[in-house]
């Protein structure tokens, strides 16, 4: 791993004291003895957005699956912090029940996470309006477009008000309006204190919204830090884009 060049900033001190996600994976994969990722150490602090980036096949999804305990084996530990110690996962490929309507999905989430009824209804209606799905509440998600299914995943995540959001490639299926609304919601959630681990290939957006980055390559972390630290690690000047740094660091 490339060393991070500057000393502990005030932000770093605050960050280290209020972590909502701590991931220390010695290794993880789909078959015992064949690790796909190794030596993965990631933290996300309250109010922080960390971008998990890397080329195709680098191990980003496997890392996320290991955090969620969805891999066949892993060595290491994952700790969810915060007041509720609750995470919400927004997958790249929407997951839903064919026999439940959109509203029934929301009711199920509210029941599973014991969200108070009035608060649930108020928040659900706000989110449905924001994501323009009010007219679809009694429809089945199997008949939705990919972007609409993704919006359902996002609405469920925002309903939970978790300590940490783990969001896998949210921008690809969403239209520009929904992307702007999603970013505004994430910012509000960060202001509430939630942390976000955001896995994406949309580097120009990540560059603008993430506080820090973790760059994976061939199954392990090759660089991490703030955007300016990443520029420094890539030996590029401050005009360099995240994409240019990414190319240099994964050459
Ligand atoms: N279910 C699986 N069983 C076995 N190997 C897998 C499985 N899923 C992924 N892999 C392998 O793990 C490696 C890392 O894949 P992973 O999906 O974690 O990468 P990624 O960084 O998320 O890539 P992308 O940007 O293309 O989504 C790849 O070599 C892939 O073939």
Q: What is the pLDDT of residues 168-180, one digit of tens each?
A: 999 888 899 999 9
For a ligand 1 pocket test, name from 61, 72, 73, 221 the mutation site with the most ligand atoms within 8 angstroms of its C-beta. 61
Terminal-to-terminal C-alpha distance of the chain: 14
Question: Cα(63) to centroid of ligand 1, in Å?
Answer: 9
Would you say the CB of residue 220 lies under 6 angstroms from ligand 1?
Answer: no
Ligand 1 atom nearest to 63, measured from its CA: 18
- The structural domains of the chain, with segments of one domain joined by +, span 38-249
Q: Tell me the pTM.
A: 0.91
Is 8's pLDDT higher than 70? no
pLDDT of residue 21: 97
Q: What is the pLDDT of residues 47-80, one digit of tens each?
A: 999 999 999 999 999 999 999 999 999 999 999 9
Is the ipTM, as predicted for this complex, more than 0.95?
A: yes
**116 vs 108, 109, 183, CA distance in Å?**
12, 11, 26
Specify the range with the lowest mean pLDDT, choosing from 24-33, 149-158, 167-176.
Answer: 167-176
What is the CATH code for 38-249? 3.40.50.300
């Amino acid at each position: 791993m490339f060393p991070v060049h500057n000393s502990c900033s005030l932000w770093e001190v605050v960050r280290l004291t209020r972590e909502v996600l701590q991931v220390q994976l010695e290794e993880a994969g789909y078959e015992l003895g064949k690790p796909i990722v190794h030596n993965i150490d990631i933290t996300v602090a309250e109010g922080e957005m960390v971008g998990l980036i890397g080329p195709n096949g680098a191990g980003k999804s496997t890392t996320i699956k290991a955090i969620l305990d969805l891999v066949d084996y892993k060595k290491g530990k994952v700790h969810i912090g915060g007041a509720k110690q609750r995470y919400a996962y927004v997958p790249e490929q929407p997951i839903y029940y064919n026999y439940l309507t959109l509203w029934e999905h929301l009711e199920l989430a509210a029941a599973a996470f014991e969200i108070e009824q009035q608060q649930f209804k108020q928040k659900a209606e706000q989110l449905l309006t924001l994501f323009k799905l009010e007219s679809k509440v009694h429809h089945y998600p199997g008949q939705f477009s990919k972007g609409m299914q993704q919006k359902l995943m996002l609405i469920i995540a925002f309903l939970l008000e978790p300590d940490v959001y783990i969001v896998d490639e949210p921008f690809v299926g969403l239209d520009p309006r929904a992307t702007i609304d999603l970013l505004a919601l994430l910012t509000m959630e960060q202001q509430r204190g939630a942390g976000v681990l955001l896995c994406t290939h949309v580097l120009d957006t990540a560059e603008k919204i993430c506080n820090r980055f973790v760059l994976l390559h061939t199954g392990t972390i090759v660089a991490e830090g703030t955007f300016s630290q990443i520029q420094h690690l890539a030996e590029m000047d401050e005009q360099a884009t995240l994409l240019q740094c990414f190319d240099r660091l994964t050459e």
